[in-house]
Structures are given as structure tokens and as C-alpha cells.
Chains A and B, each alone.
Chain A
Amino acid sequence: MFRSQVLICGGTGCTSSGSDQLIHSFESELAKNDLQDEVKIVRTGCFGLCALGPIVIIYPEGSFYSRVEVTDVPEIVSEHLLKGRPVERLLYDETVTDNGVISLNDTNFYKKQHRVALRNCGVINPENIDEYIAMDGYKALGICLTEKTPQEVIDIIKASGLRGRGGAGFPTGVKWQLTAQNHADQKYVACNADEGDPGAFMDRSVLEGDPHTILEAMAIAAYATGANHGFIYVRAEYPIAVKRLQIAIDQAREYGLLGKDIFGTGFDFDIELRLGAGAFVCGEETALMRSVEGQRGEPRPRPPFPAQKGIFEKPTLLNNVETYANITQIILNGPEWFASMGTEKSKGTKVFALGGKINNTGLVEVPMGTTLREIIEEIGGGIPGGKKFKAAQTGGPSGGCIPAEHFDIPIDYDNLISIGSMMGSGGMIVMDEDTCMVDIAKFFLEFTVEESCGKCTPCRVGTKRLLEMLTKITKGQATLEDLDKIEELCHYIKENALCGLGQTAPNPVLATLHYFRDEYVAHIVDKKCPAGVCKALLTYSIDPDKCKGCTLCARVCPAGAITGTVKLPHEIDPHKCLKCGACIEKCKFGAISIQ
């Protein structure tokens, strides 16, 4: 028995900020103090509060240490683990109150969350199947195989109201039913772990923090639909997730939880990993299947749907990572439990990856129907630097934005669509007054142009033309007529593109145009970028009252645009100025401003 457990986050965020070195350092410090048999070190998955990484949590107290450095480790070991005195200086500020240190679960960030899909992330060691089993792991699979018929399993999923978490929100139970009713000599179940939305990392955290839950859910899905082989299509950009999935698959095989005759019921099921090679379109289901087959990941028209003809032309069930992460809990707790959370048509919880201009960057899981205000102000801790909220972008390159006027709308699939955005896979990027909405629309278009597979013309050519028009706006060369042309082209692309990527590519443009038309107009008519982002529209000037004539700006200016005499105010020649910003960075007196 260990008297203390040191949980160190081994997710991508914390690993990037050095949690591996922390683990080594804890090991050697514990050995030095002869504590290695009393204190156990566990490398867990993501705790969610990535902004504060690397994170270390020490139980039984539940002390939450944030941004821990290797040099802090000796103090934590000698003070906290040896003498039992938590090192307050290193604790997460919010856990240190006037009434002493409070538990992590009582902080604003965690209090409003409800963790279903993320239940094991940051709790267990993802590389140890026994820890997963201790958390009721593989119990749901046992129940399904020994007590339920495949149809009963499907009925449970249907009754829960679970909808696909990849973004489109198709009812999961119906998808299972459609695959089950197609008869074939071979069927497949697949997991879409090609999380390509920039700014979304929910799926990665589940794969890294709780890989077995995906394997178990896929086995249940295979039993329900009559498949015996599975594929997990995961991005090669997620090396930690790939490694842990492979470890999990190997362990599950060793325990007989994958392979032949699982639980002695005669049910066979095995899983293979397929690594993506960097193509956003492969998140689209038909393209993903082509890629699993080793081909160019180009989409094809539907029907036939994957439930009829999928991987290698066989009926295939394809669900997203987060969808699978809910399955075992629905089986164990019952569909009524799941359906009791959320809104009328969107049940359960949703994981969001909070990023951008927000204090608590990280992963949050909240019941469907939570408002944006709760997520951003209460859980997210608001916007840094006292800046004003402008919009939250959801749904990545396929989505739109939620402006401040919809701050109190309950977030679910249908509400987001009604205000011109979409749930998407769950990326939520917060933007403040310094973000230019035209620039953001252009950013997403650049992404889609780059990722368009080129198969259909509306997407290949249309998005490129759209990008050119947006670029014109950001350079101050557009006319108001261009806005009408942009809208017309957007609708044309939406109606005519072959797959989801093209059909949704205009959404960021349409949404920003709808809510922030005045910003577009300011670029076109006033030739100004209100947020001060679009370089071609900026003018730099020196405030003569603040300038001390130190000459630093004139020396760093690569264009020689700044002139003046020592100790007298300088001037910028707007015709020579390249708008590179070098002068502003160097000015110690805040004398240079952008308009």
C-alpha cells in the first residue's frame, strides 16, 4: 500500500511543457528520501486545465500544483511528501483561499463540469489495463456479451438519445441499426480519430488518457452490428495517442478482451490501427474509408452510405472517439441516466476544447444546454487582460461564430445551427476585441483551400476565388459589390460541393458576414481594420509628446522610414513604412501607435 499518490499529467500539453522530466525528477527525489515504497508516481492522461501545465496532483489531499518546474520537485518531496506540508506557493491560486486549501473539484474550472467521456482522464494510468478494469472497465462489454442480444444493445443506445459527437449529430443508435440490418460476409466497425479541426483536442485527450474505453466501446458496437474487425484511424500527428492505443490493444489481447472467443461467448473481435498522413478531408467518412484502404483520401458521393458499402466495400459502422467514450457509461448506468442530462434533443454532455483568448485554456465537459456565458466566464475564467469578448468560434473551418448577443443561448446541436454555427467536434476558440473577423474568415478559408482534395470543382475553385475576394478586402481593394458576390458564391459552394468539407467551407465567411458586417464595411469603405490586424490597412505614427528622440526605432526600421534628430520627436514616412511593427516592439515609451 502506498500512502500517497503523485499524479503527473502525461497528456500532450503537459508533456510539451516538460512533464516527462518531472517524472524522472520525482523518481530520483523519492529515492533520495527513501520514499519510493510509500509514494507512488502515476503518469495519467489530461486533467483538462492545460493552461497551467505541467500539472501535478498529490493524493489523498488532492493538492493541485500548477506550472511545476523540475527545480520545484525537491521542495515538494521534502515539504509535502516527507513533512506533510503542501507547498502553497506552487498550488493553483484558486485552490488557496482564506479558509485554507480547497479541493480541486471545488474550483470554478471543475465545479460546473460533468465528466462522462473524460471520466478516467487524469485519474488512471492509461498504460495499465488493470487500472481501467478497476474503474469498471470491460464490465459493460461483459454485460452485453452475456446478458443482452445485439438488438437489445442497439435499443439501449437508441433510447439514450446519444448523437454523433463528430459534429453532424446523427443519432448513434440509428447508425448502429442501419449497419446491423445489412447482411454481409464481413462487416467492420471503425473509429474516426482523425481530429483535424485546428484548435480541437478533445479526442486526443480521450485516446491518451483512457484508450481502453474506446476499445471496449468498439467491441460492443461490433457485437451489436455483427462485425468482427475494427479499425482506428488516428492522426500520425498524435504520437502519444498512437503509442497508448497500441499498448492498450496489446494488453487487451493478452487479457483475452480482444481476439477470439471473448469471455468464452464465441464472439471474435480484433482492432487494427491505421495512421493518417495529414489530410483534413480524411475526417469526412467516405474519405476516411478510402484512406484506411491505403488510397488517396478523396470523398465520394453518398449513397451508398458506409452502413451499406464502407471499408473494402463492406458494411461499416463509423463513430467518432467521443461518441464511443460515452457507450460504456450508457450500458452501465442505463439510457435513462444518460437521457436525463442535456436538452430535449441533445442528450448527455459535450467536451469542448477551450482555446484562444481565454484564461483557463483546456478541456471542459459540460451537460448539453450549458450557456456560453457559463463556459467562458465561469469555467474559462474570462478573457485575459480585461479585454472585451467579441465572439466564440465553434465547429472549426466548418463552423461559424457565436457573438456576444447570443451569450446566453443554451448550447446544443440545434441551437447552434439556428444561429448559423455548428457544434463541430468541440473546438471553441475565444476571440476578443483584438481579433479581426475578416482576418479569421480568411484564415479558415486558407485552411480549406489548402485542404481541399480537388475532386469537385465548387470546392477546388470556389474556395480559392472566395479567398481571393477576402484577401482583396483585407488589403482595402474591395468594393461593396464584392460582398454580394461573396455571399452568392458561398451559397453556390454550399449547395454544390461533393462532401462535408466543401459544403461547410463557406460557413465561417457567412457567419462573420452576418454578425460582423460592419467590420467588412469598415475594411471596404473606410479602408480601416477596426481590430488593428490587417497590415495593409494600418498606419503607424509617433506621438510627438511621448517620443524622447532615443533613435532606437529609426535604427531598427528595416525600410529607413523613420527620420528625426536625436532627443527630438521622430516621424514615420507612411509611404516607406512596411508595417512590420519592429519600431513598436522596440519603443520603450509607448510613443508609437497603430491606427
Chain B
Amino acid sequence: MAGKISSVPFSGTQEQEQKLLEVIEAHKDVQGSLISVLQQAQDIYGYLPIEVQKIIADKMDVPLEEIYGVVSFYSQFSLNPKGKYKISVCLGTACYVKGAGDIFDKLSQNLGIVGGECTADGRFSLEACRCIGACGLAPVMTINDEVYGRLVVDDVDRILAEYQNK
């Protein structure tokens, strides 16, 4: 379910690895904690490249293929780095019938990328997300933690411009 493997070189720091080791240490003996560890690892690195999966495999004594199996199963886990501004357009039913598909197409057209990709300058990444439950505001998109609701296609240019120079 997750996308292709990233071609961006891994650039993890010592500090990040130290944090990851602490997380692993705290969860090592808790039964069934692999997903929690992966979630925290993704918080630390922003994504889950194979290098990070290897560290987890070694320290938790779980085969790498099992870890890769879990990572590629869940849509929350990403094998690719995300943009500085992560744009998610809700394509839940309520948003869809209110035109979220058009919003998504417009973003894709403006940014020149398709869902799951990141712009060449690393500024924006675009993805369609599952219902975030803000159906009263449909159609909805989020950019990092900021929520934009009751959107119309014409809002897209203005909103992207806000982030263009940030």
C-alpha cells in the first residue's frame, strides 16, 4: 500500500539515532509494541527509510522483512520523505460529494506533482487522506497542522501563495 522506495539519500543524525534507541529500549519488553515503535521512529525521522528499519530490526530482534511488511501495510508509514509543508486533501465521502476531488486536481496541477510526491524543492508534498472527521467543514484539506475548510477551487492559489515564501 505504501509507495515506491525513496531515492533521496538517508541523512539521519547521531541525535536522532540516540532518540530512536531510547524508544526501542522503553518498548522492547512490551508485547506487541512494534507499531508504537515505528510510529515514534517516524516522528523522529519524518519517514521510515530502510536504514531506520534496519536499526529497529537489529535492536528489537525482529526480522527486517517482518518490519518492512508492517511498514508497507499501513498507509500512515512513509518510505519517502515528506515536504516541508505536507498538504493532505480529505477524500472521505462527505468531502468527495462536496467537490474535494476538484480541489485535489487543482493542487496537483499547480504544484506539478501527483499524490504521494514531493515538489523538487522539497517545499510541498501532496497526498489524499482518509476522512479526518471534519465533515462539517467539507471539503477540507490540511497543511501540516493547519486546517482549511469549506474550500472552493479558487481558494487554492491564495492558500499556496501563503506558504510559497514562508
Residue of A13, A280, A294, A431 most packed against chain B (CB within 10 A): A294
Residue of B35, B76, B77, B147 most packed against chain A (CB within 10 A): B35
Does B92 interact with chain A (Cβ within 8 Å)? yes
Nearest opposing residue in chain A for B148, CB measure: A16
Does A291 interact with chain B (Cβ within 8 Å)? yes
Which single member of A199, A279, A312 contacts B93 (CB below 8 Å)? Answer: A199
For residues 119 through 135 of chain B, which have their beta carbon under 8 Å from a beta carbon of chain A?
Answer: 129-135
Cα–Cα, bound, A50→B77 (Å) = 30
Does B118 interact with chain A (Cβ within 8 Å)? no
Which single member of A236, A296, A361, A443 contacts B135 (CB below 8 Å)? Answer: A361
Give the Cβ gap from B30 to chain A, nearest Cβ, in Å: 9
Residue of B1, B91, B134, B149 most packed against chain A (CB within 10 A): B134
Does A506 interact with chain B (Cβ within 8 Å)? no
Segment of B5-13, B15-23, B136-144 in the binding face = B136-144
Cα–Cα, bound, A240→B77 (Å) = 20
| Chain B residues within 8 Å of A356, by CB | 93-94, 97-98, 138
Which single member of B1, B38, B94 contacts A450 (CB below 8 Å)? Answer: B1
Cα–Cα, bound, A301→B135 (Å) = 34
Nearest opposing residue in chain B for A360, CB measure: B136
Cα–Cα, bound, A12→B132 (Å) = 9
* In the complex with contacts A16-B149, A17-B137, A199-B94, A296-B130 CB distance below 8 A: no
Residue of A51, A52, A198, A440 most packed against chain B (CB within 10 A): A198
Does A466 interact with chain B (Cβ within 8 Å)? no
Does B163 interact with chain A (Cβ within 8 Å)? no
| Chain A residues within 8 Å of B1, by CB | 279, 450-451
Contact at A355–B93, with CB atoms within 8 Å? yes
| Chain B residues within 8 Å of A201, by CB | 131, 133, 135
Interface string of A558-584 (1 = CB under 8 A from B): 000000000000000000000001000
Give A residues with C-beta under 8 Å from B. 12-13, 15-17, 49-53, 195-201, 204, 236-238, 274-280, 291-298, 311-312, 353, 355-357, 361-362, 393, 396, 427, 429, 431, 435, 440, 443-444, 450-451, 453, 581, 585
Give B residues with C-beta under 8 Å from A. 1, 31-36, 38-39, 69-70, 73-77, 91-94, 96-98, 102, 129-138, 140, 147, 149, 153-154
The 4 closest A-B pairs by CB, nearest first: A50-B136, A355-B94, A198-B92, A294-B34
Between-chain CB contacts (< 8 Å), 27 pairs = A13-B134, A13-B136, A50-B134, A53-B136, A198-B91, A198-B92, A198-B96, A200-B131, A201-B133, A237-B132, A275-B36, A277-B76, A278-B75, A279-B1, A279-B75, A294-B32, A312-B31, A355-B138, A356-B93, A356-B138, A362-B136, A431-B97, A440-B97, A443-B93, A450-B1, A451-B1, A581-B102
